[in-house]
Structure 1
Amino acid sequence: MGNCADLRLDVTRIDLALKSPFRISGYVMEKTPVLIATVRRGNAVGRGEAAGVYYLDDTADRGADILRKLALNMPADLTRDTLRTLLPPGGARNALDCALWELEAREAGKQVCELAGLPTPRRLLTTMTLGANDPDVMARGAIGFAGARAIKLKLTGEAAVDSDRVRAVRAARPDVWIGVDANQGYTPDTIEPLIGVLVDCGVSLLEQPFRRGREADLDGLKLPLPVAADESCLDLAELETLPGRFDVVNIKLDKCGGLTEGLLIARRAKQLGLQVMVGNMVGTSLSIAPAYVLGQLCDVVDLDGPIFIAEDPAPTVVYDDGHVTCAPEIWGPDAMIAEALPAQ
């Protein structure tokens, strides 16, 4: 990237209000705190947004503190590659890594996909997520996603009610691909009643059934549908532990620490024979844009974070006919960059 002696870093911390409370196994969310990293060199600007990883206590506040301390003594040789050794995986590194990608793209006059060695981006078929709720509420929500072609259900680890949730959504939407996300809610004993329901309802993916650290519980357990690792794989190093237990890896930029690491994981996962999924934390379209680049390499795409917030600042990604499209005006060399939001 060039000399970083004049690279400046600013950090903003804001709260994004949600349209309604969002429930997953063990958590109910009413707002999403995020941090925005902005880097400047000369007239070029780059931005990245991150929410952190709630189950690791990697909060937006902690991430903002990490970056503010770094801003006081920016390394002269900072690049996206050296950042991977400077900061651990997590929200702070994700925000700064994505900001450096945009800065580099603007300085080079090239699209981020081109810098990443990818073709011109195509629109992506994406799942739309239903938070865990009463089965009839989730069925109505599935009908409300009228244009969706793929729906992901959040489960809570209660086999009986989770089974009712799956049946209700499948009855409401017999036409869509369905995946379920257990968010670590099950054990090998408690999941057994659910499996038959998943098969009967044509569910195509089971994400993170058991707790992080209990991956060995999958050994010898022959599940009749693909299993995805989310919490069980945070970064490139942990990817090597998945083959033989998982079929899919869910890459989230907040977990792995940015687009640079995400691309490395996706390419290595394919070498290991794993399918690749890209997911996201709740956030604005700015947080989706780098993940959209990664999504060009993915078999499953779950990039619906902005639909849950009360207001997504323009320009925004577009959801249409079950797909997501991220226009160049959102992030990259052609981005429309507004004035920074007030810091909190």
Structure 2
Amino acid sequence: MRRRLLVTVERWPLAAAFTISRGSKTEAVVVRCRIEEDGAAGQGECVPYPRYNETPDGVASLIETMRDAVESGLNRDELQSRLPAGAARNALDCALWDLEAKQTGTPVWKLAGLPQPAAVETAFTISLATPDAMAEATRAAASRPVLKIKLGGGDGLDGERLEAVRQAAPEARLLIDANEGWRGDVLAQHMRQAAAIGASVVEQPLPASDDIMLANLSRPLPVCADESVHGADSIAALAGRYDFLNLKLDKTGGLTEGLRFLREARAHGFGVMVGCMVGTSLSMAPALLLAQEAEFVDLDGPLLLSRDREPGLRYEGSRVFPATPALWG
């Protein structure tokens, strides 16, 4: 039977508004690919990101341009040169991995030459809000060992937010994420404040266009690139500016490039965070394979939804377990 490609845009309500320095949202809008062939089916999910000029309809349309190629037998290697890095390629790439796993009866981790995955501990995100509201949200999540704290409010209150969060969760490991929301005149001060409360890392403090400022910064704690890094080819230029890189499959354009990204990051001496956009368990499942080697894991997307895909990943507190074949891989 000839292959068949199905593309759908889905909306998943969030349990609460999710706010970062660039704005808020109350739902996760994802694009899901399903590729059927000879009684087997593989699926993948992506989260279009406005920061990179992506929209759900635009990403779905880009995937549709690949219909003839996919249904004629396009493979993962060919896909890398047919679509640019980004959400559309991620959904297709992960669907092709899943399809091969289903057709061969071999899990993706074996197909990729990776060790068998185990459960990992993920961060849980505290959205940007007033210091009091963030303290309240942190207290509600204080039993979680790792918290990602969204900052970059631009209102002069980030120092108060840091203090409020630390008081609310004195034992938690804190990952600070400014989402490009700081500027050069406050960078050193906020970095010192983050170090003073015992944060583990500061993620993307400056706009990507201002990376050069980090080269000469005396940093009291490590700095992680997110918006500044995409595929493996973007890694070398960040040497001396960042200590860690946030690997997100919606940026790399899928697991195939994610594997190359991980190798390249290690070759250049970077630590790795494996992160996500806000999506369902289908978005997280491929990233969990890469998270096995990461120093930081931020795959809490399903925990932020009011409901997840069924079947979904199993979360026990902050521990997330590998996908079953019924979901992916």
TM-score, normalised to structure 1, is 0.91
Q: Which amino acid aligns with 1:286?
A: L
Is 2:187 aligned against 1:217? no
In the other structure, the counterpart of 2:9 is: 13
Q: Could you tell me which of 91, 97, 119 is aligned with 1:123? A: 119
Aligned counterpart in structure 2 of residue 69 of structure 1, from 65, 71, 80? 65
Q: Confirm whether residue 295 of structure 1 aligns to residue 291 of structure 2.
A: yes
| Paired residues of 1:235 and 1:255 also in contact (CA < 8 A) | yes
Rounded Cα–Cα distance in structure 2 between residues aligned with 1:48 and 1:261: 15
Conserved 8 A contact 1:152-1:181: yes
Shift of 1:53: 2.1
Q: How many residues are matched?
A: 329
SS at match of 1:213: helix
CA separation in 1, counterparts of 2:26 and 2:81? 34
1:177 aligns to what? 173
Q: Bigger CA drift: 188-197 or 55-64?
A: 188-197
- Tell whether the 8 Å contact from 1:163 to 1:197 is kept in structure 2 after alignment: yes
Match of 1:98 in 2: 94
Give the superposition deviation at 1:13: 0.7
Match of 1:205 among 191, 196, 201: 201
Q: Look up the SS of the partner of 1:17 in the other structure.
A: strand
Moved more, 224-233 or 8-17: 8-17
> Does 2:41 correspond to 1:45?
yes
Q: Work out the CA distance in 2 between the residues paired with 1:168 and 1:114.
A: 45
**Residue of structure 2 equivalent to 1:261:** 257
What is the distance in 1 between the residues matched to 2:74 and 2:236? 28
1:146 positional shift: 4.3
**Matched residue SS, 1:190:** helix
2-side partners of 1:331 and 1:120: how far apart?
A: 17
Query: Which residue of structure 2 aligns with residue 340 of structure 1?
Result: none
Q: Residues of 2 paired with 1:227 and 1:261: CA distance?
A: 23
Q: Are 1:318 and 2:309 matched, yes or no?
A: no
Shift of 1:193: 2.4
Quote the offset at 1:7 in angstroms.
2.5
CA displacement 1:221-259 (0-9 Å, x = unmatched): 111111000000011111111111110000111111001
Give me the CA root mean square deviation: 1.6
| 1:195 equivalent in structure 2 | 191
Deviation of 1:277 after TM superposition, in Å, equals 0.8
What is the DSSP-based 3-state SS (H/G/I as helix, E as strand, rest coil) of the residue aligned with 2:16? Answer: strand
Q: TM-score, normalised by structure 2?
A: 0.96
Counterpart of 1:116, as a letter, is A
Q: 2:121 is matched by which residue type in structure 1?
A: L
The DSSP-based 3-state class of the residue aligned with 1:141 is helix
For structure 1, list consecutive stretches of 5 or more residues without a partner in the other structure: 334-344
CA distance in 1, matches of 2:233, 2:313: 31
**Ranges of 4+ aligned residues in structure 1 off by more than 6 Å:** none
Query: Offset of 1:330 from its aligned partner?
Result: 4.7
Q: What residue ranges of structure 2 are gaps of 5+ in the alignment?
A: none
- Identical-residue share of aligned pairs (%): 39
What is the CA–CA distance in structure 1 between the aligned matches of 2:211 and 2:14, rounded to whole Å? 32
Deviates more, 1:144-153 or 1:172-181: 144-153
* CA distance in 2 between partners of 1:320 and 1:13 (Å): 29
The CA deviation string for residues 314-338 of structure 1, in whole angstroms up to 9 with x for no partner, is 22222224321133145335xxxxx
User: 1:111–1:332: 8 Å Cα contact kept in structure 2?
Assistant: no
| Higher alpha-carbon deviation: 246-255 or 140-149 | 140-149
CA contact (8 A) 1:180 1:203 kept: yes
Residues 330 and 277 from structure 1, CA distance in 2 versus in 1: closer, same or farther, beyond 3 angstroms? farther
Contact in 2 for aligned 1:35/1:95 (Cα 8 Å):
yes
Q: 56-65 or 312-321, which moves further after superposition?
A: 312-321
| 3-state DSSP of counterpart to 2:176 | strand
Q: CA separation of 1:61/1:278 partners in 2, compared to 1, >3 Å: closer, same or farther?
A: same
Residues 312, 327 of structure 2: 8 Å contact kept: no
Q: 1:319 to 1:27 in 2, by over 3 A?
A: same
Question: What one-letter code is carried by the residue in structure 1 that aligns with 2:254?
Answer: G
